[in-house]
Structure 1
Amino acid sequence: MPLLCCGVSHHTAPLAVRERLSVGPREASAVLGSPWLRGAATIAGLTEIAVLSTCNRTELYASVGAHDRDLADATALFMKLLSRASDLSEETLAPHVYMSSGLAAVEHLCRVAAGLESMVVGETEILGQVGVALGQSVEASWSGPVLEAVFHTALRAGRRARAETGISRRPVSIASEAVALLRAKLVSRERPRVLVLGTGSMGRAVARVVANSDFATVHVAGRTASRACELAKEVAAELVSWDALADRLSAMDAVVVTTSAPEPVITVAMMSRAQATRQFARPQLVIDVSMPRNVEPEVASIPGVALYDLDHIQAVIGSHLEGRRLEIPMVDGIIEEELAHFDRWRRGSALRPVLAALQAKGEAIRRRQVDEHLRAIGSADPDLRGHFDAISRAVVSKLLHEPSRRLRTVTDAARARESAELVRELFDLELPDDPSEPERCSA
């Protein structure tokens, strides 16, 4: 059963488009559970769907039918879904959307899980996000043997990449790059004041790196007071009340925004007011690493403010990743091995039920013939039955061995399905209700 992948990422779409498609775990679950998707998927013939969304990519995966029409219907459905989610027309989205199918889609997900497609090559968070995407698909009853096999293959490739190569060993991250930008821009200032907004994984990482670098005074603010207080104590930072945020902005040399709010938490009005009351002539640095952006883009036009976002961070990350890039050929080799494993499973999945049915029919005929001959000669001698069983099993085994072996060597998936159907018709085999559904590929 073919696989389809459709999505956008930092490789193909600007931040303004990516943030329109960014969905958190709750939103992804809502998409998978929506009546619209279930109805549209039924019409398009989709039975397995997963949504993978990170700060820099949103991707849809589906198991589709074997015909070109099925692939076209699934592609059209995914474009409609992306359009609905982003409130952008399909024509606007089309230049930024990439698609792949079959083994190419499996390879893409393996590269994603291994961190090769991330903004920071080799970052580790993506592996957990791939696992979450599979878990959400299972919870929403959209998972099945194909998607589970694909995602388990990708997860295995990702784990092996990090265990067997150095793709993740050299410390490079969005948090570390944001702090590097801070240091570069604030180098001439003595003990600059840096305010970190947000207490999630990114906020904690930024606060820790700034505190450990010991070049600035750290201030922390978060929408959840208890978590902000906990982080402030951990990094010996000054706690800023979220309610007092607007009043405290003017005193800061830099603000790093890591929140994940659906709407901007730093607005033009807030920053304009801060600039009006600032007592410093030096520019105020604002770094927004949120997705979607949590600083209104128009803040960049305010005199005295220098605004940087994820696209700016991406531009400087490349020069710091040369060490990790040296590991990419080894990761590619791991992915090739996992793809070969998956392909063997895929090819065998079409033939496995047919071969099992063929063996079962041969065994049933053998048993029936032995029973008839023993009744005909009026013998219940167990030794004689054992003799007949041994001879008949050997005959059936030798008859079925060569055709079974040849079927297992079929390398093309389409030919495997054709061969399976031919064998089924020739031997009048009875298969399960859905013989095309493959067995599960173990993780």
Structure 2
Amino acid sequence: MIGIIGTSYKSASIDIREKFTFLKEDIQEFSEYLKKEEDFKSLIILSTCNRTEIYFYCQKTNNQEGFDLILRALSKYKGYTETMKPYFYFKSGREAVEHLFKVSSGIDSLIIGEDQIIGQVKNAFTIAQEIKSTDSILTRLFTKAFEAGKRVRSETKINQGSGSVSSAAVDLCHKYYPDLSKHSILIIGAGQTGQLVLTGLSKHNIKSLYIANRTVSKAEELAIRYNGKAIELESIEQYLAKSDIIIVATDSKNHLITKEMVLKTCQENNSIQKQLYIDLSVPRNIEKFVNELSNKQLYAVDDLTEIVNSTTLKRQNAVSEAIKIINEVSTDYMEWLVVRGLSPIFSKIKKNFQQVHEKELQGFKKVNILGDHKVLEDYGKHISEKYSRLFIKNLREIVKDGEKKEYIEAINELFEM
């Protein structure tokens, strides 16, 4: 079965989602554990600020057994319990395939049509390739997901307007401080999200821009590109008082900015300046209690919903067109999956019809004397091939995307294969 177990901004708050984030090393360890299971074949984990989704393929014919396989691993590595089940969704077969295609197309995103998700899906696939946790089934699935995402963006108007969490953050900065040329900004994190924020901010003439990152050379590279100043991660506290806007987007599992840190900075500088804090990280990197301080406004990922509503409404009209494309690509993938899974059966059916033809022809030759059996042989071959093709065509239709295994078993017994 192809399955997915996931949690997202639609099903769970950030308090729940941050418990199930995966770094590359987490994915590798998780995968190695599952590989010990005989029926487990492959997995790809998509982990972003808005969702964690585990795509997997296993040879369980019962969907629940397949889901239980993954849930046991989640219990061991992420502390999953049955009480958390309402925060998760479980999909299999075509439903799982269509869900991935919707995700890669941006339809399932907080901001409909956002572009950042396609890069995140590609990154998840790349990690799976690097740690060798994928196979031909999921490789083909994700390749088709990239195709669906590309077609939806090029053939519809799904990505018009502000289209990502990072661009929403930039819009929030401009809303909070209409004239950014009078204000200083501290960006913590030089990953994909941080770079997208920088790209959006580069359109504005910012007074001062500070870029902090664990790897200083990366911060220096971006500082040159965006006319800013690179600083070490350990130095961010001294730059808080110099900044009006602080944006954090890292994969750190700990708080990089705490209420105590902000309060200390204000006291040392005798300042009660108005500041905007935006935390684009999951788990959160800014302690939520910062919001309790005077003149400090904190926005986390989930708080961006209101800002993106206008964009969502504009893009909603393109969703129906996108769904048609997704259905088309999904059908293409499911047909490939059926043919791949049933190829051995198809070969046996053809072989069986051929054997019947040859056996009956030999018997006919023994009791009937004809000058030329060539016409009879050709006609017999034509009939056997015609009925084997018809049989295979009907079999593909009744097995329903390869999910109704009982039909295949019945065919095996019927033809004594």
Instruction: Tell me the TM-score range normalised by the shorter chain.
Output: 0.7 to 0.9
Of 163, 175, 180 in structure 2, the residue corresponding to residue 172 of structure 1 is 163
SS at 1:285's partner residue? strand
1:94 aligns with 2:85: yes
Match of 1:439 in 2: none
Alignment of 1:241-320 (within 5 A): 241-320=232-311
Structure 2 SS opposite 1:118: coil
Number of the residue aligned with 1:50: 44
TM-score between both structures, scaled by the size of structure 2: 0.87
Query: Residue 81 of structure 1 aligns to which amino acid in structure 2?
Result: A
| 2:2 is the alignment partner of 1:3 | yes
Match among 49, 53, 56 for residue 59 of structure 1? 53
Which residue of structure 2 aligns with residue 31 of structure 1?
30
> Match of 2:65, as an amino acid?
D
SS of residue in 1 equivalent to 2:40 = coil
- For normalisation by structure 1, the TM-score amounts to 0.82
Partner of 1:397: 385
In 2: Cα distance, 1:426 partner to 1:278 partner: 85
- Structure 1: which amino acid aligns with 2:155? E
CA distance in 1, matches of 2:302, 2:411: 56
2:228 corresponds to which letter in structure 1? A
Question: Structure 1's 124 and 403: CA in aligned 2 closer, same or farther, altered over 3 A?
Answer: same
Write the distance in 2 (CA, Å) between the matches of 1:14 and 1:256: 20
- Aligned match for 2:395, one of 407, 413, 424: 407
8 Å Cα contact 2:245-2:277 kept in structure 1: yes
**Structure 2: how far apart are the matches of 1:241 and 1:50?**
33
The AA in structure 2 aligned to 1:57 is R
Matched, 1:111 2:102: yes
Taking a change above 3 Å as real, the CA distance of residues 168 and 85 of structure 1, as seen in their structure-2 partners, is: farther
How many angstroms apart in 2 are the aligned matches of 1:407 and 1:76? 30
Q: Structure 1 counterpart of 2:233, which letter?
A: W
- Counterpart AA for 2:262: M
Q: Could you tell me which residue of structure 1 aligns to residue 19 of structure 2?
A: 20
Aligned-pair RMSD on alpha carbons?
Answer: 3.2
Counterpart of 1:191 (choices 182, 185, 201) is: 182
Distance in structure 2 (CA, Å) of the matches to 1:14 and 1:127: 23
User: Using a 3 Å threshold, how does the CA distance of structure 1 residues 326 and 388 change in structure 2: closer, same or farther?
Assistant: same
Instruction: Work out which of the residue numbers 66, 69, 89 in structure 2 matches 1:74.
Output: 66
Conserved? CA contact 1:198–1:221, under 8 Å = yes
Contact 1:32 1:137 in 2 (8 A): no
Alpha-carbon shift at residue 114 of structure 1 (Å): 1.1
Quote the Cα distance in structure 1 between the aligned partners of 2:386 and 2:166. Answer: 64
Report if aligned partners of 1:351, 1:417 keep a CA contact under 8 Å in 2.
Answer: no
Change (3 A) 1:368 1:129: farther
How far apart are the structure 1 equivalents of 2:188 and 2:47?
22
Query: Which digits, 9 at most, give the CA deviation of each residue in 1:153-210, with x for residues without a partner?
Result: 4333222212211212434222222122222222378711111112222222222322
Query: For residue 24 of structure 2, what is the amino acid of its counterpart?
Result: P
* Matched residue type, 2:54: L
Q: Residue 166 of structure 1 aligns to a residue in which SS?
A: coil
1:48–1:193 distance in 2 versus 1, CA, 3 Å: closer
Letter in 2 for 1:63: Y
- Measured at CA, do residues 219 and 160 of structure 1 come closer, stay the same or move farther in structure 2, by a change above 3 Å? same
User: How far, CA to CA, are the matches of 2:403 and 2:195 in structure 1?
Assistant: 53
1:392 and 1:182 map into 2 onto residues whose CA distance is 77
Cα distance change, pair 411–376 in 1 and its aligned pair in 2 (3 A): closer
Relative to structure 1, is the Cα distance of residues 198 and 22 closer, same or farther in structure 2, using a 3 angstrom cutoff?
same
Cα 1:391–1:346 shift into 2, 3 Å = same
Question: Structure 2 CA distance, aligned partners of 1:87 and 1:425?
Answer: 45
Is 2:405 the counterpart of 1:417? yes
Structure 1 unaligned residues grouped into runs of 5+ = 430-443
Q: Tell me the number of residue pairs that the alignment of Structure 1 and Structure 2 aligns.
A: 417
What does residue 229 of structure 2 align with?
238
Structure 2: distance between partners of 1:204 and 1:405: 51
Aligned-partner SS, 2:46? strand
Structure 1 contact 347–416 (Cα < 8 Å) conserved: no
Distance 1:225 1:215, change over 3 A: closer
Distance 1:280 1:185, change over 3 A: farther
2:197 to 202, 206, 213: 206
Task: Answer with 296-305 or 281-290: which moved more.
Answer: 296-305
